[in-house]
Structure formats: C-alpha cells, structure tokens
Amino acid sequence: MNRSDYEQMVASAIAEATETIGEGQPSPARLRHALTVLAQHVASATRDYELSNLRTVDDLAAEFSLSPRRIRALAANRHARYGIGMQVGKTWLWSASEIDRMRPRKPGRPPQEKNGDG
C-alpha cells in the first residue's frame, strides 16, 4: 500500500463518519458511534500501511550497497542504542520512518566548514 492509498482510505472513513452524523445537531450517542467507527477505520488503515511498508535485511542491503551481514551488525547496534527496528525470530524489520536512521554513517570526522576569516 502506498501513501496515496492510505490517505484515500482515511478520507473515505471521514466521509462515511460525516454521513453517519448527518446534518444539524447529532445526538451524543450518534456522534460517539460515528467517531468510534472512524477511529477503528483509521487504526486499521494505519496498521495496514505500516505493515505493507516494512523493510527487511535484504531490502536494506540492496539499498545501502552493503552485505546482509553488515546490515545485521548495524541492526543489532542501532536497536541496542536507539531502539530502531524490531527482531522477529532471526529476522530484522524496519518501518519506513526508521530507514533513514539505519543509514550507515561515513567513517572519519565530518568536513570542517571553511570561513573567510582567517
């Protein structure tokens, strides 16, 4: 599932809740029911979106041009230090939002900024 499908599902759930509420002043029970159904639809769509975008060791190895063994070593380190990713059995998984934090850093010092004073 891509981002636009997710957004379309949420918009559809909002439209359905709006229809359920109707026009005018809805009763508290009707409003509570519509909002409960809306929350369930959005939670389901969010779960589906997150699960469909999970990435594996092989995905990251191909993206970062590293070996799967190196990715597993990075995974263990980043998970221990920052809580990034999750291990299910022997398989590591990352959400789309965690991928940038998994990107390996370049070795050495960062380049010094050059200033005109001096």
Which residues, in sequence order, are bridge partners of residue 55? 94
| Contact predicate 100/86, CB 8 Å | no
Q: Are residues 45 and 59 in the same domain?
A: no
Say whether 90 sits in a helix, a strand or coil: coil
- Going by C-beta distance under 8 Å and a sequence separation of 6 or more, which residues neighbour residue 109? none
- The verdict on residue 44 lying in a domain is yes
What's the average model confidence in pLDDT over 88-107? 85
* CA 38/CA 4 separation, integer angstroms: 18
| Residue 29 counted as domain residue | yes
- Cα diameter, the chain: 73
The parent domain of residue 72 ranges over 55-102
Number of domains in the chain: 2
pLDDT, tens digit, 9 for 90 and up, residues 44-91 = 988 888 888 899 999 999 999 999 999 999 999 999 999 999 999 989
According to DSSP, residue 114 is labeled P
